Chain A
Amino acid sequence: MNPDFLAWIILFLPLVAAGLITLYFLPQRKVSAGLSTGAVIIGFVLSVIFVSWAGWQPAIRESAATWLAVGPLHVAFGLRFDPLSLLMILVVTGVASAIHVYSWGYMHEDPGFSRFFACLSLFTFSMLGIVLANNFIELFIFWELVGVSSYLLISFWHERPSAADAGKKAFLANRLGDFGFLLGILIVWSSLGSLNFGVLQDRLSAHAGALGSLATIAGLLIFCGAMGKSAQFPLHVWLPDAMEGPTPVSALIHAATMVAAGVYMLCRVSFLLDASALEVIGWVGGFTALLSAVIAVQQDDIKRILAYSTLSQLGYMMMAVGLGGDSQAMFHLSTHAFFKALLFLGSGSVILALHHEQNIWKMGGLRRQMPVTFWTFLAATFALSGVPPFSGFYSKDSIFAQATARHSYGLLVLGLAVAVLTAFYMFRLVFVVFLGSSRSPACDHAQESPPVVLWPLRLLAVFSIIGGYIGIEQVYEKQFGAAGAGHPLWQQLLAPFREAPIGAVLGILAAVLGFAGAYKLYSNVAKDPLPDKLGALSRAMANRFYFDELYQATVIRLHDALASIADWIDRWIIDGFCVGLARGGTDLTGRALRLLQTGNLQTYAFLFALGAALVLYLVLGK
C-alpha cells in the first residue's frame, strides 16, 4: 500500500468524526467525545508513523487528484509533503490531541458537549487541510473553513451576546483580510498562470522577475490574509475578544492552529514575497509585538493577558518572516505552540478550580493548592520569557540572531524591548496568581484539577522545556535551505552562545530585566508576610522602597500611560472609529440609496425612463 494513503487518512479522520457526531451521535456525549478524541489521537499516531517513513527529506512530494480543470486553470486537490508540512502535522495533531483530552475534563458539565467536539474536529480538519494543501485554492478553502469553524467555536456559548458578537467580529475581521488574500491569489494566478506552490516556485526561480511590477502588491495582498488570521495590526482586534470562547478553544486557536496559520502560510509562499513586501511585514510584526506587549501589562483578566501575549509572539514570528528568517519563524511558532497551549490549559485549570473566576487580583497563593498546575505554568512562563534552557529561549534567540545577521538593528531593539516586557508581564502574572497569599476565599478552597486535565499539562510541559534543542529548527532549515549538520544534543544546548553570542546574551539580559521589574513590583503588592518581617530593616530597605517608588512614579507611570494610550487607540481609533466609520458610512449610504425606493409607481416609472435615457446617452452620446 502506498504510504501516502496514510496522509489522506490523517486529514479526513477528523472530518469523518465531525460528520458522524453531527449526524448520529449528538445525544450520546461519551461516544461523540470518544470519536473526536480518538480521531485526532489516531491522527497523531499515524503522523508519527508517516513521518518516520517519509523522513525529513527536503525533496518535495505530492499526492494529488484532479479537482478542477477550467481551460488553462488546472487545480488538483493535493497534499504536499515536505519538512515544513510534515513537522506541522505532528505539531497540530499533537497539540490538538492534548486539547481534546483536556476538553473532556473541562467541558464535562456543558450541555453542548457533543456539539463542542464536532466543532473541534471540524476545526482540526480545516487546520490540517491548510498545512497539507499543495495549491492556493485548496489552501484558501481550508483557510475559510478554519474561519467558519472558529466562528462556531468562539460563539459556542451563543446564548451570551458577547460571545456571539466576538464570533462575528472574528469572522468579519478574518474575511476582511481574506478578500485581500483572494485578490492576491488571483493576481498571482493571472501573472504566473498556476496556483500550485511547487510550480509557482519553479516558475519564479526560472524567471526572477516574472511577477514584474505586481510583485509587491501581490505580496502585500497575500500578507493581508495572514494579517487577518494571525491577528496583526490593524486587524488584531478580534483576537482578545475571541477569549469569549471556552478555554480549550482559546488554547487551540492561540497555540498551534488558527493564528499560526497566517505565519505558516507566509512561510509556505515566502518565495513570492519581494524585499519591500518583506520590509512591511517585518515592521508590522514588530509594531504589533510592541503594542500588544505594552497592552498586556495593563490587563487583569488572566486569559486576556495571555491573548495579548499571543499577539505579541505572533508579531515576533511576522518579524522573523519579514527578516527572511522563515525557519526561525516556524521554529518560534512550534515552540510557542507548546508553551502557549500549556499556558492556556494551565489558566483553564486555574479558572476551573476557582469556578470561572478570571480576574488575577482575586487569585493568589495557588502554588500550594495546585502544585502541578503551578510548576507546569512556571515552565511555560520561563519558556515564554526566553530563559535558557527552556524552548522559548532558543527560538527567540534565533530571531535576534537573524536580525543581527540582517543588520536590522531597529527591529532587533524592538524585539529586545518586547522581550523585556514579556518577561515582566508573565512574571507579574505568576507572582500574583500563584505566589503570595490568597485574595479571596475561593482560592483557599481551590483544588487541583482532575488527572484528565493534568496529564496534558505535564506532556506539554516536557515539550516546552526540551523543544529548543530536539532538532526542530534543523528540520525547518532543511526546508528553507542552509541546513546545518545535525549536532549532538549537548552541542545544541549551547548552540546560541556559539553561533550568535550577542543575541543570546541580550536575550537573557532582557528576560532578567523583566523578571527583576516584576519581582520588585509584584512580590510586594501581594500581602506576603515577608515585607512585614523585613519592614524593621533600616536604610537599605528604605532605599529599596524609595527606588521602588521612583520606579513606580516614573517608569511605571509612563508605562501605564503608554499602555492606556495604546489600549485607547486600540479600542477607539481602530475598533471604534475605523471600523465604525466604515460600517456607519456604508450603512448611511444604504439608507440614502433606499430613499429612491419610494414605493410610488410614478417615481419608479420615472427612474426607469431616466435609466433608459442614461444608458442611451452613455453609448450614443460619444
Chain B
Amino acid sequence: MQDILFYIFAYLALQFGFLVVANPFSRNPVTSAMFLVLTIASLAGLFVLLHAFFLAAVQVLVYAGAVMVLFLFVIMLLDLRAEERERLRTFEVVAGLISAGAILFIFLATLVHSPPGIQQSPTAEGGTIALGRLLFSHYLLPFEIVSVLLLVAMVGVVLLSKKNLK
C-alpha cells in the first residue's frame, strides 16, 4: 500500500513540477504558481510516507499556504499580462537540458556506483514533540539566528517595497 502511494505521490510531484517549469499550454506565471502549490502538496504526501508528520504540516501551511500566496499576490500586483506571450527559446532550452541532464546523469551514475547502504528498518518518527525538543536544545543557536534572519528579511521587504522613497 505504502509503495503504491509512493509511486502516486512521486508521479504527481514530478508531473506538477514539470508543469511549473514547462507548461506546454500556458506561460502564465499564475499557472506555474498553481502547479507549484500542487507539487508542494504532493511532496507533503511523500513526507507523510516518510513519517515526517510535522514537516508535512509545515510544508502545507508555510509553503503552500504562506509562500505561494505571497507569490500569487505579487503576480496579481504586477499585472503581468505581457508575460503570457513568453516563448521558450531553443538556445535556452538546449542549455537547460544540457546542464540539468548532465547533473542528473552524474547523480544517477553516482547512485548506481555507491548506493546508500543503509538497510535497517526505518524507525525515525518526525513528531512535533521530538522535533521540538531537539530544536530548543541542540539546535537553539541556529533557531535564534534564523529569528534574526527573519527580522532582516522583514526590514528588507519594508524598505524595498515602500512606496515613497523619503
Contacts and interface: CB of A to CB of B under 8 A. Distances in A.
A532 B98 CA distance: 90
A620 B103 contact: no
In this complex, the interface size class of chain A, counting residues with CB under 8 Å from chain B, is 10 to 19
Contacts of B132: none
B95 interface: yes
Contact of A609 (B92, B99, B109): B99
A610 B99 contact: yes
Nearest to A612: B103
Contacts of A616: 103, 106
A613 B98 CA distance: 10
Contact of B106 (A603, A606, A613): A613
Chain A: interface secondary structure? helix
A620 B111 CA distance: 12
Nearest to B113: A620
Chain B: interface secondary structure? helix
A621 B99 CA distance: 16
A213 interface: no
B96 interface: yes
B129 to A, nearest CB: 39
B102 interface: yes
Contacts of B92: 602, 606
A53 interface: no
B99 A606 contact: yes
In this complex, the interface size class of chain B, counting residues with CB under 8 Å from chain A, is 10 to 19
A617 interface: yes
B110 A606 contact: no
Nearest to A611: B99
B80 interface: no
A606 B96 contact: yes
B40 to A, nearest CB: 22
Greatest chain B CB density within 10 A among A602, A613, A621 is at A613
Nearest to B98: A610
Interface string A593-610: 000000000110010011
B8 interface: no
A616 B110 CA distance: 10
A487 B100 CA distance: 87
A609 B96 CA distance: 9
Interface string B58-99: 000000000000000000000000000000000010011011
Nearest to A609: B99
Contacts of B103: 609, 612-613, 616
B106 to A, nearest CB: 5
Contacts of A609: 99-100, 103
A610 B110 contact: no
B87 to A, nearest CB: 14
Nearest to A600: B92
A343 to B, nearest CB: 68
A620 B102 contact: no
A620 B106 contact: yes
B95 A606 contact: yes
Interface string A560-578: 0000000000000000000
A616 B108 CA distance: 12
Contacts of A603: 95
Interface string A157-191: 00000000000000000000000000000000000
A612 B103 CA distance: 8
In the A-B complex, the 5 residue pairs with the closest CB atoms: A609-B99, A613-B102, A606-B95, A616-B106, A613-B103
Interface of B: 92, 95-96, 98-100, 102-103, 106, 109-110
10 contacts: A606-B92, A606-B96, A609-B100, A609-B103, A610-B98, A610-B99, A610-B102, A612-B103, A617-B106, A620-B106
Given A603-B95, A616-B106, 19 more contacts: A602-B92, A606-B92, A606-B96, A606-B99, A609-B99, A609-B100, A610-B98, A610-B99, A610-B102, A612-B103, A613-B99, A613-B103, A613-B106, A616-B103, A617-B102, A620-B106, A620-B109, A620-B110, A621-B106
Interface of A: 602-603, 606, 609-610, 612-613, 616-617, 620-621
